[in-house]
Structures are given as C-alpha cells and as structure tokens.
Amino acid sequence: MAVRRSKEETFSVKGKTEEWLKKAEQALHKGGFANVKTNLLLNQLTGDYKNLTIWGEIIVTLLPEGENIKINAKSTANADNIYALFSSPNQKILDQFKNNFYNSSIMALIYCPDCGKEVSGSANNCPNCAYPLSKMRNQTQSFPPVYQNNQLIIAGYIAVFLSFFIFPFFFMIIGVVLGIVNLTKGAIGHGVLQIVLSLIFGILGTFLV
C-alpha cells in the first residue's frame, strides 16, 4: 500500500455559493486537475492531480456561514516517492488550485463605477449602462502606486511636535528632512505640512523658548 498524506487549508470569501462553486470548478480545470466532479448536494468538488512526481487528489468544500463562505481545500497525495522527500506534493496540489482560484476570482467580476452593477472584469463596456470599463482599466494601471509608508509620515509629525519643545533647531532639521522624504515619496500634503510646520516651530522655538 502506498503511503498517503493529507494537508488542508481553509479561507473565506463573500458572495453566493453557486458562483463560488463555479469559480472553484474553473480553477480546478485551469490548474490541470482531471476528473473534476461537482457535488451540488454537498457543495463539494473533487479532482485528481497526476504528473510525473505527484499522484494525488483534492477535495474542495464550500461551507456557507451567514454572509461568508468558508472554503476548505484538502489534498491527499502519495508520500512514498523521492520527490515527496524534498518537497510537499500536497502543498503543490493546494497551490495549483489556489493560484488559479484567486486569478479567476479577481478577473471574474468587478463593480461598474458608474451604476454599481457586477460585471465581467474583461468586458470593455458595462452591459448595463455602457460605461467604458476598458478606459477605466487603462487609467487604473497608469496610476502611481499609493504611498503607504505611515511610519515615516508619523515620524515627520513627531519631529514637528518636538521641534516646538526641545532642541528646536535639531528637530526642525529632522522635520524638514522627513517632510522632504515624504514629499518625494508621494505623500505631498503631509510632506509640505511637515516642512512648513517644522520651520515655523523650529524658528519660534529657537527664539522664544
């Protein structure tokens, strides 16, 4: 008898069970699973995954819980070959499903910014209100990445605050430098505010305190 091991992962999504069953089924097909079967009674999908090094199968179960749907993916694979000694065939099987599942669920549906209806992510125009979705996609892609370094922004404000109380000149310089860094990294409002406030507080602090 072959030695077999299992591994499972659970994550949750929002939406309708039937739709996620469809998406999971598509993901299994895309991921190269054979013999994909859907059991609508159990909200369960099964598929076989076989290649040169991996022999196994997957069971994907959808468990609706109020607004959320818990998705449990369990893979079972032969663990008595050389390949299994060096890598995890079960992880490979789970990834094969998950990667395709995420891609298809991201690509599958978006919300029209004009009418708010769910539409296909690959449609050029909204079928409901004819909003040009392809234009929006191009615009979204060309937006610069959002600057998210909150620590530097907070540090800038701390320097601004300190420049009013202790070592005004020293913290004024730090506040200005951090303001410039935040400015050049895209947090323009914070950067400008930090530079201006550092200068005001630093100068006031130096001469008044």
- At 134, which amino acid appears? S
Q: Which is nearer to Zn ion, 112 or 178 (CB)?
A: 112
Question: What is the spatial distance between Cα 45 and Cα 73, in angstroms, rounded to a whole number?
Answer: 9
Site track 139-178 with Zn ion (rule: CB under 5 A), x = hit: ----------------------------------------
**Residue 126 touches Zn ion, criterion: CB under 5 A:** yes
Question: What is the spatial distance between Cα 60 and Cα 71, in angstroms, rounded to a whole number?
Answer: 7
**Residue 109 touches Zn ion, criterion: CB under 5 A:** no
* Alpha carbons within 13 A on the beta-carbon side of 161: 6
Instruction: Give me the least distance between CB of 135 and Zn ion, in Å please.
Output: 13
3-class SS shares of the chain: helix, strand, coil, % to 5: 50, 25, 25
Instruction: Give me the least distance between CB of 133 and Zn ion, in Å please.
Output: 8
> Tokens 């499903």 appear where?
97
Return the residue of 19, 48, 95, 114 that touches Zn ion, per CB under 5 A.
Answer: 114
Write out the residues near Zn ion by the rule CB under 5 A: 112, 114-115, 126, 128-129, 131
